[in-house]
Structure 1
Amino acid sequence: MNVFLTAEWKHLINLTYEVEPSLLEEYLPKGIEIDTALNGKAHVSLVAFDFLNTRVKGISIPFHVNFPEINLRFYVRYKGHVGVVFIREFVPKHCIALVANRIYNEPYLATPMTSSLQTANDGVVSHHRFKYKGQIFDIQATGTNSLFTPEETTMEHYFKEHTWGFGTAHSGKTMCYKVEHPVWRIYPFKSFELRIEFGKLYGKKWEFLEHTQPTYKVFAEGSAVKVFGALTLTEFDKLYPQSV
């Protein structure tokens, strides 16, 4: 497989909610199952992070190297491999959204966004702000600046470590792409602030999340990543014949 993109994904805020699996069925690619192995529940995560030092096929594109992203995603399984499917991804650059939509058919939208990181004493604060349809939204998380690596059996590990992204190509076929990075350390989570209208951003059926507290909260340090070119499920099966 060829590497399509390299970057650093840094300071990832992950706020995860338990939801009914039926809410996710319309987004589910063919042949992929909703993953409920963690605790018998389906989950969606609101994730905010920074893309840094971005290169597409080794090329650094001016003004598109460092930028924030905010996405809503859920967790799926294919032949024993756990991955994610995206409901919507926000970025600040129209070119980024255009490329992602054309190549991966990912549900990207471009909108004005900013992010910042502050460290003081033993704390670290990541703040994301974006504007959509004339309204300002905010996501902020505070952690203790004492990084550690959680055990593989923990929910923190589950929500931050996924090798595969799944989606539906323009042809209607299910595709997947591999993401490689070292295991991420996390900041002990202290608090978060969220000013989001889920219904406006993701559709009316998600309005209930505005009155729901996240079940799980993770604040990951992040690292350098590699994103590989897209595969069909047939190509995936040939490369990973031992999948179970």
Structure 2
Amino acid sequence: MIRINEEIIQIKQPFQRHGWIMMQTWEHLLFLHWAVPPKVLRSLIPQELEIDTYQGMAWLGIIPFLMSGVRLRRLPMIPFTSTFPEINVRTYVKAKQKSGVYFLSLDASNPLITAIAKQWYRLPYFQASMRFAKQAHSIEFDSGRREKHSPPVQFSGTYEPVGNAFASDKETIEHWLTERYTLFCQCDHSKRLYYADVYHEPWALQKAIVQLRENTMTKRLSIPLEPQPDLAFYARGVQSYVWPITRLY
């Protein structure tokens, strides 16, 4: 049994980073990933974006974590809004020589941040009731979507890190899945595509033991998943910078 590491990886030499507008810290992340045929995702991704693949397969990720330290540049953190659980469903895409993340859904327990992210970053956020409980050796995470016009979406599980932390090598699947520094998004109304860059230091990953009690995060997307993921990794967390969105097409 390995006790959870308490160190967040801070950004080194922050004065060299210009133009960011938001700071966030991502904590106690669980990277769950399933390999899926690209055709399963094609109808869910804008045609202008190429589905990124690793050895011929697309990958779908479900990532529960704790968001903390949220603040706008040159402004203090807003009390009671800067720390909250979140879970996202994502896949990987390419466009204009950039490779990054495309979010299929993001659930969060903070209604203010959810509303801001929807407007500023055109991201498909949903409000949810969540429970994040840190134990000495594990994390318990429960989420239930609470949107009037959305069918129930649930996630419930326990996870813990095992083995030593490591930095992923560039040619590995771990690096391909986690070292992503661009998010892509689409405006619901105009259908225009945008991207935003992010920055953080490389992840320190650990293998994870996972017990999934319930997982319907992809049910409304009609993406069937096996009960257990193909890969599961834990990361204690990183400090990150986020830049404004920019028009892609």
Aligned residue number for residue 13 of structure 2: none
Aligned residue number for residue 240 of structure 2: 225
Aligned residues: 225
Shift of 1:155: 1.4
Q: Secondary structure at the match of 2:191?
A: coil
| 8 Å contact from structure 1 (residues 5, 58) kept in 2 | no
Q: Is 2:65 the counterpart of 1:49?
A: yes
1:16-31 to structure 2, matched below 5 A, reads 16-31=33-48
1:103 pairs with 112, 116, 120, which one?
A: 120
Amino-acid identity (%): 26
Which residue identity does 1:76 align to in structure 2? V
| 8 Å contact from structure 1 (residues 29, 167) kept in 2 | no
Q: Is 2:83 the counterpart of 1:69?
A: no
| 8 Å contact from structure 1 (residues 6, 58) kept in 2 | no
Which residue identity does 1:131 align to in structure 2? G
2:98 pairs with 52, 76, 81, which one?
A: 81
Shift of 1:193: 1.1
Between structures 1 and 2, the one with greater helix share: 1
1:137 pairs with 155, 158, 166, which one?
A: 155
Aligned residue number for residue 15 of structure 2: none
Q: Secondary structure at the match of 2:40?
A: helix
Aligned residue number for residue 10 of structure 1: 27
1:146 pairs with 153, 164, 169, which one?
A: 164
Q: List alignment gaps of at least 5 residues for structure 2.
A: 1-17, 147-151
C-alpha distance in structure 1 between counterparts of 2:20 and 2:176, whole Å:
24
Deviations 1:11-41 (A, max 9, x none): 21011111122232233235210001x2110
Change (3 A) 1:116 1:223: same
C-alpha distance in structure 2 between counterparts of 1:5 and 1:114, whole Å:
25
Which residue identity does 1:216 align to in structure 2? L
C-alpha distance in structure 2 between counterparts of 1:5 and 1:153, whole Å:
30
C-alpha distance in structure 2 between counterparts of 1:86 and 1:202, whole Å:
15
C-alpha distance in structure 1 between counterparts of 2:79 and 2:234, whole Å:
29
Shift of 1:2: 3.0
Q: List alignment gaps of at least 5 residues for structure 1.
A: 235-244
Deviations 1:85-110 (A, max 9, x none): 11110000111111111111110001
| 8 Å contact from structure 2 (residues 154, 216) kept in 1 | no
Q: Secondary structure at the match of 2:222?
A: helix
1:202-217 to structure 2, matched below 5 A, reads 202-203=219-220, 205-206=222-223, 208-209=224-225, 211-217=226-232
2:199 pairs with 164, 180, 183, which one?
A: 180
Shift of 1:202: 4.3
Which residue identity does 1:173 align to in structure 2? R
Which residue identity does 1:181 align to in structure 2? H
Aligned residue number for residue 241 of structure 1: none
C-alpha distance in structure 2 between counterparts of 1:91 and 1:220, whole Å:
19
The TM-score normalised by the length of structure 1 is 0.84
Which residue identity does 1:188 align to in structure 2? K
C-alpha distance in structure 2 between counterparts of 1:232 and 1:86, whole Å:
17
Shift of 1:154: 1.6
The TM-score normalised by the length of structure 2 is 0.82
